[in-house]
Amino acid sequence: MKTILDLKNQFVFETESLLKELKSFQSLSDNQLNWKFTNESWSIAECVDHLYVTNKLYFDEFEKQFSKSQINTDCSKTPVKHKFFSKLIIKSVDPSNLKKVKTFAVFQPVSSMYSNDILSRYSDQQNEFINLLSSIKDLDLNKYIMCSPANKFIKENFCDVLEIIRLHDKRHIIQAQKVLINPNFPKN
């Protein structure tokens, strides 16, 4: 049985690992960050911006709800309870699911040309979220509910959201790494 504490710890550990992997992109030129191997594919920068845009929608809701009320529990004993539609979303964003999934308009990258700044913005955002999670020791994330930014009829609890973000971020960092190792990737 996965507890809320297990989920939070896994999220923090894997997010910190992804941020270390993100450093491999820091030395890339703007040309390299924005390179695509096809017109339909995303560049490294677009992958990172997509994560930034998506996560911001979720993080803003976390901050808003945590500032309003505190629903406490013993997170080391409270099991994670995923909602039905969230289980489907979790499966679709899992990196082990090789099926390509088209993103919703609300999650689209906002630009097509980026500078190295997108890496810092995403990294800062993730570190802020880790700090927020660290500050909420005993909140019952099963009881905090939000509407999915993609579809207002889908309700997600905050345990769902953590799992979705964890897997979704991993999926797109892997996608960005595949751009980097493409044989046609520019040298500078």
pLDDT tens, 103-129?
777 787 777 788 899 999 999 999 999
Each residue's pLDDT tens digit, 135-186: 888 999 999 999 988 888 999 999 999 999 999 999 999 999 999 999 999 9
| pLDDT, position 76 | 95
What is the chain's Cα-based Rg?
A: 17
Each residue's pLDDT tens digit, 49-74: 999 999 999 999 998 888 887 899 99
Q: What is the rounded distance in angstroms from the CA atom of residue 154 to the CA atom of residue 156?
A: 7
Least confident residue range of 5-9, 100-104, 132-136: 100-104
| pLDDT, position 32 | 96
pTM: 0.93
| DSSP strand pairing (155-157 vs 145-147) | antiparallel
| pLDDT, position 151 | 86
> What SS3 state is found at 146?
strand
Is there a contact between 80 and 9 (Cβ–Cβ < 8 Å)? no
| pLDDT, position 111 | 75
HEC per residue, 73-88: CCCCCCECCCCHHHHH
| pLDDT, position 57 | 92
Which residue type occupies 145? Answer: I
The dihedral region occupied by 101, where left means phi > 0, alpha psi between -120 and 50, and beta the remainder, is: beta
* Domains present along the chain, CATH in parentheses: 4-180 (1.20.120.450)
